């Protein structure tokens, strides 16, 4: 299959899978991550075809949406259906596998260039104004409260505990979002993360000012 046709068909497939999502993992998240990933990918001379394909497919097996560990089965089945060879399909699934955040104390550093690019792009969409909107949308979709001063944030040292957390959404800023800036793996990712990080800090300051008035 021609690369352009493959990308377009993958886009349509992903849209159909994520249609109706209200947890912040809808098609527009994929769209933004793809654009960020292509921009970052260019800056480090990554394989842009792999980056784009992995960006399109990166959330269809996500544990937050499927309820199970991201085993990459949907993505793999799709790639095989498109006639992608075993080696390339495994490479793309490997990139996707390395993307997600697994807890404050869990190291997700990777030396696969395309994975570094996609990880930064996905994490940039988790912070800043859009990140704040998505975080509350996700919390609401899982029945989490907004804030409870009696429940302190927890630094999860393994993925299982991180997944099980039912803490209020404000805790998520400390357990994940504010940590992402220092985990960026590309120069462009680090630069873009700065402003988004500062905006979250401002948001939290304002939140507590209003809470305590």
Q: Which is nearer to Ni ion, 59 or 97 (CB)?
A: 59
Q: Which residues, at least 6 apart from 62, have a Cβ–Cβ distance to it below 8 Å?
A: 25, 70, 100
Q: Which is nearer to Ni ion, 62 or 175 (CB)?
A: 62
> Which part of the chain contacts Ni ion (CB under 5 A), choosing from 53-61, 102-110, 172-180, 184-192?
53-61
- 122-161 mask for Ni ion (x: CB under 5 A)? x---------------------------------------
Which 8-state DSSP code applies to residue 180?
G
Q: Which is nearer to Ni ion, 20 or 152 (CB)?
A: 20
Query: What is the rounded distance in angstroms from the CA atom of residue 157 to the CA atom of residue 30?
Result: 28
Smallest distance from Ni ion to CB 100, Å = 8
Q: Which is nearer to Ni ion, 25 or 156 (CB)?
A: 25
Query: Residue 201: exposed, middle, or buried by beta-carbon count in 10 A (0-12, 13-18, 19+)?
Result: exposed
Q: Answer yes or no: are the C-beta atoms of 129 and 108 closer than 8 Å.
A: no
Q: Which residues, at least 6 apart from 45, have a Cβ–Cβ distance to it below 8 Å?
A: none
**Which residues inside 70-129 make contact with Ni ion, applying CB under 5 A?**
122
Contact with Ni ion (CB under 5 A): which of 24, 53, 59, 89? 59
Q: Which is nearer to Ni ion, 61 or 122 (CB)?
A: 122
Smallest distance from Ni ion to CB 148, Å = 27
Q: Which residues, at least 6 apart from 64, have a Cβ–Cβ distance to it below 8 Å?
A: 23, 25, 138
> Which part of the chain contacts Ni ion (CB under 5 A), choosing from 40-48, 57-65, 90-98, 181-189?
57-65
Q: Which is nearer to Ni ion, 59 or 114 (CB)?
A: 59
Q: How many CB atoms lie within 10 A of CB 30?
A: 24
> Which part of the chain contacts Ni ion (CB under 5 A), choosing from 52-60, 86-94, 150-158, 192-200?
52-60
Query: What is the rounded distance in angstroms from the CA atom of residue 170 to the CA atom of residue 187?
Result: 28
Residue ranges that bind Ni ion, judged by CB under 5 A: 59, 122
């Amino acid at each position: 299959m021609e690369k352009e046709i493959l990308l377009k068909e993958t886009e349509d497939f992903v849209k159909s899978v994520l249609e109706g999502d209200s947890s912040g993992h809808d098609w527009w998240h994929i769209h933004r991550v793809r654009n960020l990933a292509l921009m970052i990918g260019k800056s480090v001379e990554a394989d842009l075809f792999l980056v784009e394909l992995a960006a399109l497919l990166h959330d269809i097996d996500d544990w937050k949406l499927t309820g199970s560990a991201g085993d990459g089965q949907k993505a793999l089945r799709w790639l095989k259906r498109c006639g992608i060879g075993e080696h390339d399909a495994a490479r793309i699934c490997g990139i996707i596998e390395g993307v997600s955040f697994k807890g404050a104390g869990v190291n997700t550093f990777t030396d696969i260039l395309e994975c570094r690019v996609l990880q930064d792009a996905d994490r940039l969409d988790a912070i800043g104004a859009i990140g704040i909107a998505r975080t509350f949308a996700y919390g609401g979709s899982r029945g989490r409260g907004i804030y409870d001063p009696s429940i302190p944030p927890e630094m999860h040292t393994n993925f299982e505990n991180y997944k099980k957390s039912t803490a209020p959404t404000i805790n998520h800023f400390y357990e994940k979002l504010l940590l992402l800036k220092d985990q960026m793996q590309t120069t462009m990712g680090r630069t873009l993360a700065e402003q988004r990080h500062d905006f979250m800090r401002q948001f939290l300051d304002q939140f507590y000012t209003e809470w305590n008035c």
